Each structure stands twice: as C-alpha cells, then as structure tokens.
Amino acid sequence: MKSIGILNLPRDGNYGGMLQAVALHSFLNDRGYRVTSIGNGGPQSKRINPALKKLIVSVLERVPVQNFKGVRERYEKVSRHEKFLSEYIVRQTRKACSGAEFRQAVSKERFDAVIVGSDQVWRWDYISYDPSRYFLEFVDAMQTRKIAYAASFGMDHWQAPDMIEEIKPLLADFHAVSTREQSGVSICEALGRTDCHHVLDPTLLVDASFYDRFTMPSRDEGSGTKRMLTYILDGAQDKSRLVSDALAMLGKHYALRELGLQSDASVSEWVSEFKNADFIVTDSFHGTVFAILFRKNFVALGNSGRGLSRFTSLLGGFNLESRLLLNEYVDKARLQELVGTVVDYSTVDEILPRLRRDSADFLLDAIDGY
C-alpha cells in the first residue's frame, strides 16, 4: 500500500477548503492508498500551544469587556470543524511550521508521494511568508514523488514577478503538475513548466451522492415555500441590493437563507443548505461548485479584483458562463433574465464524467509514476 501525504493551507474554517480536503482524502483512500494530512501550522510566528489556547479562551470569556464577546463561540466553532475533519481525515502528522519540522514529518511517514493542493495553495498573498513550503522544498524528489493537484494561484496572473527565478527550480522538481484553473496552466508555463494539466477541484472528483453522508433532513419552511440561499464572502452594498432584487423577482413564496464568513453553521449544515436550496446566489468558488453539483438554479458573482479565472474556468468548462455576473451590480435586467431562466444541465451531464475520468487518471498516474 503506497503512502501519500497531502499538504493544504492551514485550516481556517473555510467550508470549501475543508470539503475539498475531505473529498481528496476519501477519493484516494477508496483506491487503496494510505493517506495522511501533513499538519500545517501556518507562519511560525502564529504558533500557540493548544492547551494554552484553551486556557486563554476560558480566561477571556470571563472578562466583562465587549471586545471579548463571542470568544467561546468562535472557539467552539473551530472545535466543531476539527471534529468533522477528524472523522474523515483520520491520519495527520503533528503540525509543522519550520522546514526542519516538515522534513521530519516526511521522513517519519516515509511517503511515496506528497501532494500539494487543492485550493489556493499557490496564491502569493496566502503563502508569501514561506513560499518554498507550498512548492514542496522540504520533500526530497529523489525519494518521494512531488505532485501538485488542482493547485490554484487564486488570481489570473503570478503576483510576485520578482520571485520567478526562485520559484522556477522548485517547480521544476515536481514529477507532475496540475492546476485548478486554465489560467494556472499559463502561469506554470511562465514559471518553466510546459507540461501542466488543467484538472477538476477535488470536490468535483466525487459525485453528489458522496455528500449525502454530510447532509441533514430539510427543515420545513412552510407549505409551498421555497428557499433562496446566499453564500457571500465579499460583503458589499451592491451585493445586498442584488440579493434583495433577486428575492423580489423570485416572488413571495421564496424564503431567504443566508450563509457567510461569520456563519456558525457546521459543515453538515453548510452542505445541507446548498442541497435543500431552490435558488442560490454566491460569490464563492466552492459555493458555485456545490450549486452545480446539486443541479441548482444559481447566479455566481465574480470580482476581477479577487480573481475571475476561478469562476470563468469552472463555468466555462460546463458552458455555464451565462450564470456569471461581473463586478458591480448595475444591470437589473440581466439579473431578471438569470432569475427567470432555468439552468440547462445537459452539458454538465455530458462533460463532467469525462473531466472526472481525465482528472482521476492524471492523479493516479502521477502517484504511480506512469
């Protein structure tokens, strides 16, 4: 049985990040690999002993200062997420922060391959504190296969041109490279890799039935009432106006359900909201993924400043570009058109199985050295 290590961004309660990690682990576990998450402690300066963290929380919640309100709730939310992850990601190394600690983890586990990805593991403003970590400098390519699976640069361009010469030799050391967006293929070419593949996000490697294990029974909103779900990460006044307009266009028989960055929903509740929704408005990549997986009518909100390729690559691959609204909300007629048009999933039904097969073949061949 081959042993596989997976490096992701530090866990931060991001629902899409957690679900892509669970999907990738489950996909590989089901194919007979021994899969271990490489504990990522983030920047070394942020390290804190878990026992000390718990003590600090218990002290702060007793201090009658408004700024400390909600400390316990945030801590419990993180604890719930960690419990969920531990159910589906059984093996994990101790959290590492330094190169020496990461090398020790790889040596101890004797990995046959280490995968970085998926999610925005190559987005510069997320990894600038230690870019070599995310380009697997701590892995000896002579002993262990180095693989990037569905790595995302987050933006449509490489954000650190002054670092190109430093990154090139690290990327050259990989045995196989793939990116989540088509634009990532071009960025890799600029970084010296002309053999990069465009593959599916891990959440799409599995079919919708995979997520049934997470979902909860739908709560009755009332006879004849449907649900409009919003999952908005980048709050802005124009998005609030768009949501209000969309709800009015859908009609009085729709009830609004809202999720966001500050939501205290469990992962199961988050997935269930998407599965049970009748219409979805989201500016999230993974929110859009789950709208597609569950075959919902939806509107995706893109922002060129935050990286459009994540949306154009995903939606373009399924001929769903028409569901994307760009930048500021100014075209009410366009929104009305989207609200009144049912998503045609015939192209998704035709294309998704092939993309799953191609993405799976790339990953398994990369691990086995074909």
Which residues of the chain form CATH 3.40.50.2000?
A: 213-339
d(CA 330, CA 325): 10
Q: Check whether 53 has a pLDDT greater than 80.
A: no
Half-sphere exposure of 116 (CA within 13 A, CB side): 32
One of 3.30.2010.30, 1.10.10.10, 3.40.50.11720, 3.40.50.720 is the CATH number of 3-47+82-206+355-368, namely 3.40.50.11720
Higher pLDDT, 167 or 78: 167
Which three-class secondary structure state does DSSP give residue 254?
strand
Higher pLDDT, 59 or 165: 165
Which residues of the chain form CATH 3.40.50.11720?
A: 3-47+82-206+355-368
E-assigned strand segments in the chain: 3-7, 34-37, 113-116, 145-151, 176-179, 197-198, 226-232, 254-260, 279-282, 297-302, 324-326
pLDDT-derived band of residue 216, with 50, 70 and 90 as boundaries?
confident
The whole-model pTM stands at 0.92
**Residue 230 dihedral angles phi and psi, to the nearest 5°:** -115, 135
d(CA 354, CA 356): 5
> Exposed (0-12), middle (13-18) or buried (19+): which is 173, by Cβ within 10 Å?
middle
Q: Identify the H or E element spanning 199.
A: none
pLDDT tens-digit series, residues 288-335: 999 999 999 999 999 777 789 999 999 999 999 999 998 778 889 999
CB 300 within 8 A of CB 327: no
Q: What is the mean pLDDT of residues 139-145?
A: 97
d(CA 230, CA 228): 7
d(CA 256, CA 162): 46
d(CA 2, CA 112): 6
One of 3.20.20.140, 3.50.30.30, 3.40.50.2000, 3.30.70.1230 is the CATH number of 213-339, namely 3.40.50.2000
Q: Residue 60: its pLDDT value, please?
A: 53
Q: Residue 204: its pLDDT value, please?
A: 98
d(CA 261, CA 30): 32
| C-alpha radius of gyration, the chain, whole number | 21
Q: Residue 62: its pLDDT value, please?
A: 61
